[in-house]
Amino acid sequence: MNILQVKNLNAWFGDHHVIKNISLDYMTNTISAIIGPSGCGKSTFIRCLNRIHEEVPSAKATGEVIMQGKNIYDADVVSIRKNIGMVFQKPTPFPAMSILDNVLIGVRLQEKLKKARLMDIAENCLQKAALWDEVKDKLNKPGTSLSGGQQQRLCIARSLALNPPILLMDEPTSALDPIATAKIEELMDNLKKEFTVIIVTHNMQQAARIADFTSFFVLGDLIEHGPSTEIFTNPKNKKTEDYIMGKFG
Amino acid sequence: MLAIAIIMLIVSLAILLFKLSLPAISKFGIGFIWGQVWNPISEEFGALPFILGTLTTSFVALLIATPLSISVALFISEICPKKIGHIIGIFVEMIAAVPSIVFGLWGIFSLAPWIQNSATPFLKSTLGFLPLFQGPSYGIGVLAASLILAIMIIPTISSFCREVFRTIPLQTKEAALALGATRFEMIKITILRPSFSGMIGGVVLGLGRALGETMAVAMVIGNSHRLAISILAPGSTMASVIANEYAEASNAMHMASLGYIALLLLVVTLMVNGLARFIIWKWSPKI
Amino acid sequence: MILRKLKNYLFLCLMTLSGVAVLIPLILIITYVIKMGASSLNWQFLTHLPKPVGESGGGMFHAILGTLYLVSLGGFMAIPLGVVLGTYLSELGKGWMATFLRHAIDLFTGIPSIVIGIFAYVLVVVPLKQFSALSGGVALGIIILPVVTRTTEEILKLVSNTTREAGLALGLNRTQVIWHILIKGNRAGIFTGVVLAISRAAGETAPLLFTAFGNSYFSYGLMQPMASLPAQIYTYATSPFEEWQRQAWAGSFVLILLVLGLNLSTRFFMRQKS
């Protein structure tokens, strides 16, 4: 079943056309990767999917992104974002906030809940983000006191707290060391049981390891999209093949 | 070598100032601070009216300037388009460049009549039951001085707040928006909350500037040596009394007493600025 | 949700409002000074000495010259020293003494100008037993010094270490690197700091009241009292004579033109450069 359909998406920075008429479908409970050389618009593309792209001055996007039958470009921007989680390149724990507050902030903005219920949500999300065992004794320490990998998992837990059907990840491991990266990859494999994950990565091996589907972008164009196994072993497009063979990029 | 010379200079200045005010210090002692009478003819001197004047004007100025400065800093850095923000930023910096004598002149001829004719009737009809707003208004007075000070310290506080806000990474702000926060919630969570102590540092810096501001205040405060509760009444600050009386001090004790006030003012501003730097220093490693 | 949106909207309105509100006093002041000043300004004002009370006409020529004289005097004393100190702090300043000096300079910028005036008074006026241009210059110098020092230090700190190492690798010694590469290479930035410091000093009144004191005629002597634009404005503004008050406005107009002009043109010049 398709949870997210992108139709004729275009995006600009000022006059610079960075995403050129892209249409893509995403299936429920899968991990889809977006790869491509730097500057190909992969980050911009994923940032259009929760409309965070428009927060940049002079940025503009047109087209449709249909989630569960509704075009998010017709809906209220604040309310759609809570249904689409996002994890950024660098860990973004909110400064001056404890680990617990970081996890719960999204929920707290939406509704007032009893303390016990909030604690349940926090534990549940930190479990899912494979962070609970490491932080359960120091929930009141500042979020910024954790290591980089832990901070990134804290940010994942924070997004999960709103229980979004879709989780967007913009190069989530590029600022992390190999061990922390491996942990997050392992975690993502578990996440796809409940969520649909779309991940941008500059690391082809990572896409091959974790993604069910992979799209290949060059200069704002979608060159090829398909099951990862096919993209990486039997690419149909010459450009894809060259990129995978390391001839450019 | 040079560094030692500069340090020596600073130390010797402090000593000279101390020597200058020594007659007053030995005559009045620490009681000078709460002495209420200032009479050059009978050679009786006490600094309380001026200390209170300085405190009141600075406090009222901070009360007005702090929320305004923070909102302007937020407006420039987060809300309006970059180009407009840049222009408003330059305008705010220009306020800091206007000489204080010009503020004073404007205060006498434009602000004071406005206070007397427009602001005072309004304040009296709304808040007149408070002792703060009783008595006649001559236009010039504590309120006029406070307003001028508020305008003058806005650039100090808001520039500093902008520096503080600038240290917040863009991605952190986007992360808040991506969680479904409105712009206001994003600003509250990712900017105001972590910047709190930094902003306090900026406010204290502004206080340091307000305490020492001389000419603009001297021109609009009315130079009365009496204690008054109403902020509509004329008053005096430590800096303004020095400016008004120093060049024509009538006798040695008068001069020494003014020196004593200068010494007190110096100590207070050094302490306030030191406090500001301490807060800023404590706060900065966290970023 | 509606409540959250309402709050958001209210907040944005409030911020925008305050953004506008802050500009109001500046615009009021500048338009008022222009309105009052431009109408009182004439050729005589710029080229003549004051007339006695009661007679119309006369000007502030001596005060304009006096301000330029005093600022140059202060700058002459403070700028070289400030550049050297700033360089020292940035390039060689390590250890407790440099730290102490840095704090001292920082605190110096926070000292009220009226107290600096008293410093200059006890330092120069008391030993020489008279008000003098020299003491006014010293007071302005003490105001200029920390600003120049800080700007120089900050600008030199921005220079990357590789630039220094490249200079050393060329066989220059440390002094040559500092002079030829750091100071000469950053003269535009240092110049900006100097001009900003000078424009600040030009508008200072308080420390001149009991150092340079003021007079109503030409004087060129270091040891004589000297008029300055801000002090003259103060005297005239607080006088009861309408003619003098009118001249105070004209003086303010000239002063604000001088100070804001210097300030803005330097900023503009720097933007063009970078």
| Helix C242-273 and helix B82-97, axial crossing angle in degrees, nearest 10 | 140
From C251, which residue of chain B is nearest by alpha-carbon distance?
Answer: B102
Give the span between the Cα atoms of C75 and C82, in whole angstroms.
Answer: 10
| Residue A221, beta-bridge partner list | A218
| Helix A148-160 and helix A178-191, axial crossing angle in degrees, nearest 10 | 20
Q: Do A94 and B194 touch (CB under 8 A)?
A: yes
| Alpha-carbon separation of residue C205 from B103, B215, B244, B256 (angstroms) | 12, 7, 12, 22
User: What does the block give as tokens for A201?
Assistant: 């990565």
From C213, which residue of chain B is nearest by alpha-carbon distance?
Answer: B247
**Residue B223: pLDDT band by 50, 70, 90 thresholds?**
confident
Confidence (pLDDT) at B103: 93
For residue C19, give the nearest of B72, B208, B242 by CB distance.
B72
- Tell me, yes or no, whether C13 lies in a domain: no
State mean pLDDT over B258-266: 90
Q: In a 10 Å sphere around its CB, with 0-12 CB exposed, 13-18 middle and 19+ buried, how is residue C155 labelled?
A: buried
A77 at the C interface (CB within 8 A)?
A: no
Q: Do C5 and A78 touch (CB under 8 A)?
A: yes
- Using a CB-CB cut-off of 8 Å, the residues of chain C touching B80 are 16, 19
* Model confidence at B89: pLDDT above 50: yes
What proportion of chain A, given as a percentage, has pLDDT over 70?
100
Q: Do C259 and B97 touch (CB under 8 A)?
A: yes
Confidence (pLDDT) at A78: 87
Question: How big is the A-C interface in CB pairs under 8 Å?
Answer: 5
- Using a CB-CB cut-off of 8 Å, the residues of chain A touching C1 are 78-79
Q: Do B215 and C230 touch (CB under 8 A)?
A: yes
What is the DSSP secondary structure assignment for residue A49, as one 8-state letter? T
Q: In a 10 Å sphere around its CB, with 0-12 CB exposed, 13-18 middle and 19+ buried, how is residue C264 labelled?
A: middle
DSSP-derived 3-state class of residue B27: helix
Confidence (pLDDT) at C209: 82
Min Cα separation C129/chain A (Å) = 58
What is the DSSP secondary structure assignment for residue B163, as one 8-state letter? H
Confidence (pLDDT) at B36: 84
Q: Do A109 and C4 touch (CB under 8 A)?
A: yes
For residue A52, give the nearest of B168, B177, B182 by CB distance.
B177
* Model confidence at B46: pLDDT above 90: no
- Tell me, yes or no, whether C56 lies in a domain: no
Q: A213-218 and A221-227: which strand pairing?
A: antiparallel
* Model confidence at B287: pLDDT above 50: no
Give the span between the Cα atoms of A68 and A78, in whole angstroms.
Answer: 17
A31 φ/ψ angles, rounded to the nearest 5 degrees: -110, 125
Give the span between the Cα atoms of A114 and A127, in whole angstroms.
Answer: 20
- Tell me, yes or no, whether A18 lies in a domain: no
Give the span between the Cα atoms of C106 and A172, in whole angstroms.
Answer: 42
* Model confidence at B60: pLDDT above 90: yes
Of all helices (H) and strands (E), which one includes residue B258? Answer: helix B252-283
Comparing CA positions, the residue from B269, B267, B271, B4 lying closest to residue C101 is B4
A109 at the C interface (CB within 8 A)?
A: yes
> Can you list the alpha helix ranges (DSSP code H) found in C159-241?
161-169, 174-176, 184-185, 187-202, 229-237
* Model confidence at B9: pLDDT above 80: no
**Which of A8 and C217 is assigned the larger pLDDT?**
A8
B106 at the C interface (CB within 8 A)?
A: yes
Q: Is the dihedral of CA B69, B75, B77, B78 positive or negative?
A: positive
Comparing CA positions, the residue from B56, B54, B51, B62 lying closest to residue B202 is B62
Q: What are the counts of helices (DSSP H) followed by strands (DSSP E) for chain C?
A: 13, 0
| Tens-place pLDDT, residues A210-220 | 999 999 999 88
DSSP-derived 3-state class of residue B198: helix
- Tell me, yes or no, whether A45 lies in a domain: no
> Can you list the alpha helix ranges (DSSP code H) found in C41-112?
43-47, 61-87, 95-110
- Tell me, yes or no, whether A171 lies in a domain: yes
| Residue A66, beta-bridge partner list | A5, A71
A79 at the C interface (CB within 8 A)?
A: yes
| Residue A217, beta-bridge partner list | A222
| Tens-place pLDDT, residues A14-55 | 889 999 999 999 999 999 999 988 888 889 999 999 999 988
Number of domains making up chain B: 1
- Tell me, yes or no, whether C259 lies in a domain: no
Give the span between the Cα atoms of A43 and A187, in whole angstroms.
Answer: 22
From A77, which residue of chain C is nearest by alpha-carbon distance?
Answer: C5
CA C199 to chain centre: 3
Domain containing residue A103: 29-40+81-244
Confidence (pLDDT) at C210: 81
**Which of B4 and A105 is assigned the larger pLDDT?**
A105
CA B213 to chain centre: 7
Give the span between the Cα atoms of A211 and A229, in whole angstroms.
Answer: 9
Give the span between the Cα atoms of B277 and B283, in whole angstroms.
Answer: 10
**Residue B151: pLDDT band by 50, 70, 90 thresholds?**
very high
User: What does the block give as tokens for A195?
Assistant: 């969520």
Q: Around Cβ B115, how many Cβ atoms within 10 Å? A: 22
Q: Do C112 and B110 touch (CB under 8 A)?
A: no
Q: Do A94 and B185 touch (CB under 8 A)?
A: no
B89 at the C interface (CB within 8 A)?
A: no
- Tell me, yes or no, whether A154 lies in a domain: yes
List CB contacts of B80: < 8 A, sequence separation 6 or more: B88, C16, C19
Q: Do B174 and A90 touch (CB under 8 A)?
A: no
* Model confidence at B75: pLDDT above 90: yes
A166 at the B interface (CB within 8 A)?
A: no
* Model confidence at B70: pLDDT above 90: yes
Number of domains making up chain A: 1
| Tens-place pLDDT, residues A213-240 | 999 999 889 999 999 998 988 888 888 8
What is the DSSP secondary structure assignment for residue C152, as one 8-state letter? H
DSSP-derived 3-state class of residue A85: strand
| Residue A45, beta-bridge partner list | none
Residue with tokens 């990266």: A181
CB B133 within 8 A of CB B123: yes
Confidence (pLDDT) at B147: 94
C5 at the A interface (CB within 8 A)?
A: yes
Kindly give the confidence (pLDDT) of every residue in chain C, 274 residues in length, as a single tens digit, with 9 standing for 90 and above: 788 889 999 999 999 999 889 999 999 999 999 888 888 777 777 777 777 666 667 778 888 888 888 999 999 999 999 998 888 888 887 778 788 888 888 888 888 889 888 888 888 888 888 888 888 999 999 999 999 998 898 888 888 888 888 888 888 888 888 888 888 888 888 888 888 888 888 888 888 888 877 777 767 777 788 888 888 888 888 888 888 888 888 889 989 988 888 888 888 877 776 5
Domain containing residue C90: 63-230
Min Cα separation B182/chain C (Å) = 7
- Using a CB-CB cut-off of 8 Å, the residues of chain C touching A79 are 1
Confidence (pLDDT) at C66: 87
- Tell me, yes or no, whether A121 lies in a domain: yes
State mean pLDDT over A141-168: 91
For chain C, how long is the longest CA-to-CA vector? 74
| CATH number of the domain that residue A233 is part of | 3.40.50.300
**Residue B284: pLDDT band by 50, 70, 90 thresholds?**
low
User: What does the block give as tokens for C223?
Assistant: 């040891």
- Tell me, yes or no, whether C239 lies in a domain: no
E strands in chain B: 38-39, 44-45
Give the span between the Cα atoms of C243 and C239, in whole angstroms.
Answer: 10
DSSP-derived 3-state class of residue B150: helix
- Using a CB-CB cut-off of 8 Å, the residues of chain C touching A109 are 4
- Using a CB-CB cut-off of 8 Å, the residues of chain A touching B177 are 52, 55, 81
Give the span between the Cα atoms of B282 and B273, in whole angstroms.
Answer: 14
Question: How big is the A-B interface in CB pairs under 8 Å?
Answer: 73
CA B70 to chain centre: 16
Q: Do B171 and A158 touch (CB under 8 A)?
A: no
| CATH number of the domain that residue C97 is part of | 1.10.3720.10
Q: Do B178 and A94 touch (CB under 8 A)?
A: no
Mutation site, B21, B83, B105, interface C, largest C CB count within 10 A? B105
Q: Is the dihedral of CA B206, C196, B73, B214 positive or negative?
A: positive
- Using a CB-CB cut-off of 8 Å, the residues of chain B touching A158 are 179
Q: Do C114 and B3 touch (CB under 8 A)?
A: no
- Tell me, yes or no, whether C219 lies in a domain: yes
Residue with tokens 């479990």: A127
List CB contacts of A44: < 8 A, sequence separation 6 or more: A11, A13, A18, A19, A53
List CB contacts of A48: < 8 A, sequence separation 6 or more: A9, A11, A19, A61, A63, A65
Give the span between the Cα atoms of C72 and C70, in whole angstroms.
Answer: 5
- Using a CB-CB cut-off of 8 Å, the residues of chain B touching A57 are 81-82
Q: How many residues does chain C have?
A: 274
Instruction: Kindly provide the ipTM of the predicted complex, given to two decimals.
Output: 0.88
